[in-house]
Amino acid sequence: MTTPGNVQPAPGPIRSSVPARLDRLPWTGFHWRVVIALGITWVLDGVEITIAGTIADRLRDQDSLGFSSSQVGLAASLYLLGEVFGALVFGRLTDKLGRRKLFVATLGVYLLGNTLTAFSMNFWFFAATRFIAGAGIGGEYAAINSAIDELIPARYRGRTDLAVNGTYWLGAMIGAAANLAFLNEDIFGVDLGWRIALLIGPLIGVMIWPLRRHLPESPRWLLTHGRADEAERIVGEIERDIEAKGIEVPPVGEDSAIAIRPRGTVSYRELARVVLRDYRRRSLVGLTLMVTQAFLYNAIFFTYALILADFYGIQGGAVAYFIFPFALGNLLGPILLGRYFDTIGRRVMVGGTYALSGLLLFVTGWLFNDGALTAVTQTILWCVIFFFASAAASSAYLTVSEIFPIELRAQAISFFFALAVLVGGVVAPWLFATLIGDGDDRGRVFLGYTVASILMIIGGLVEFAWGINAEGRSLEAVATPLSAQTVAACCAESGLTGGLTAHVRRGP
């Protein structure tokens, strides 16, 4: 029997070394399965955004659906609104019902929404299915980030999170390649190619579905919900599989155990107290990092084609060829720099990549304003900027997913993700498109670049000042679970840069 909040009642505190056992595991095939099965989310989003952005002309074609420009824009906004809705709703359910149930359910919602979109016959059906697909992706962000962080050993958590988040740009490359084929009128009809292109994401999702269904629930989540036997069984199976391959699994001492008293779902009042009072500086760090990177990315990426067309004369399908190097730089940044977030450390690398990308953007804007760039050199500089900015943006998701207690981890991710989408997804593209105008004033565009660069530098400075040194440390050391037996219910703010282990009552 379970109590409200999916918690099994226990006569007293549960003492377990499950978190420590997960963190001391060597990297194995199990972890690769986690990364591949769950990390596909960002590939899907990259495919989705790229294809949706490039089929706009087809949707307006009278031989297709004949949408107006405002309808195309409204559909894009509804997709983003769906992401916000999905993140907030599914984020809370992820903390209440478990990571596994939700990372299976949210993939199903995405597959349903996007598949139905391909069969749209009018605007309102198209808009509704775009909202559903967005809700699935938004829910994925909350469920997947929390699950990955709780399953990956502490010493690999930074590089893994960055690499997974960076695969968004692999999806962008897949989407761009698909558009070159499916939007070619010599191969597919005006009303057929875009529909087939929209099925690329669901096809990838269906292929990964069986692997995802066989992943276990997060043992950390099970532990805080009183299901210690299940948590022990899952970790034991992972250990035995590793040992069966001849790989030694180091023992874990009794002093690594943590005492947990299972509790119900965190109320909205308690959520607000933890986020806005107990962890107010961490919340400020998370909000700043998420919003500033979202502003930068949405400002540049959603107006990328406008800059190339209005200032460099690159039109139509030729724009797709410029997306590939841009996406490649974004993909390589988190992969090549990720290891340093675990070795050099979070604060230096997060703050450094934010500040450096901001400075590089300002220099690029200056050269653009002076007319010193061509389409090729502009793209090269964008590749360099976003090599670092992509690592910075990925580290924002890493930060908000590891600095809050496990009981509200998914909700914290969803909250900051929703704010980032609303600010970056709504304000930034509109502002930059307005500044670009008819392409007759480089100075206004430079002003926009300057604003984005200043915001990124501010993000870096906030991280330098108040960032958390989470590298190589267990999630329980970075943020004490609300269900942990504590010495005193004191302010969590004292652990901003050193973790909260001092408050956890461990066994002798």
User: Tens of pLDDT along 410-462?
Assistant: 999 999 988 888 877 677 777 777 777 777 788 888 888 899 999 999 999 99
Tell me which residue of 268, 264, 274, 266 sits closest to 226, measured CA to CA: 264
- Distance CA(270)–CA(279), nearest Å, equals 12
Place 183 in a pLDDT band, splitting at 50, 70 and 90: confident
- Report pLDDT for 427: 76
- Report pLDDT for 251: 87
- Report pLDDT for 129: 94
Q: Strand, helix or coil at 460? A: helix
Tell me which residue of 142, 162, 225 sits closest to 412, measured CA to CA: 142
pLDDT surpassing 70 at residue 507: no
Place 321 in a pLDDT band, splitting at 50, 70 and 90: confident
pLDDT surpassing 90 at residue 212: no
Whole-model pTM: value is 0.85
**Residue 259 host element (H or E):** strand 258-260
- Report pLDDT for 290: 94
- The arithmetic mean of pLDDT across residues 454-471, rounded, is 96
pLDDT surpassing 60 at residue 491: no
Q: What are phi and psi of 11, to 5 degrees?
A: -70, -20
| Rg value, the chain, Cα | 23
- Report pLDDT for 7: 61
Place 492 in a pLDDT band, splitting at 50, 70 and 90: very low
Q: Which residues pair with 14 in a beta bridge?
A: 260
Return the higher-pLDDT residue of 137 and 488.
137
Return the higher-pLDDT residue of 352 and 147.
352
User: Tens of pLDDT along 80-108?
Assistant: 889 899 999 999 999 999 999 988 899 89
pLDDT surpassing 60 at residue 270: yes
- Report pLDDT for 488: 37
- Written as six digits, the tokens of 110 are 């995405």
Q: Please check whether residue 134 is in contact with residue 113, taking contact to mean a CB–CB distance below 8 angstroms.
A: yes
- Report pLDDT for 34: 92
Strands in 313-454 per DSSP E: none
Residue 313 CB neighbours (<10 A):
10
Mean per-residue pLDDT of the chain:
85
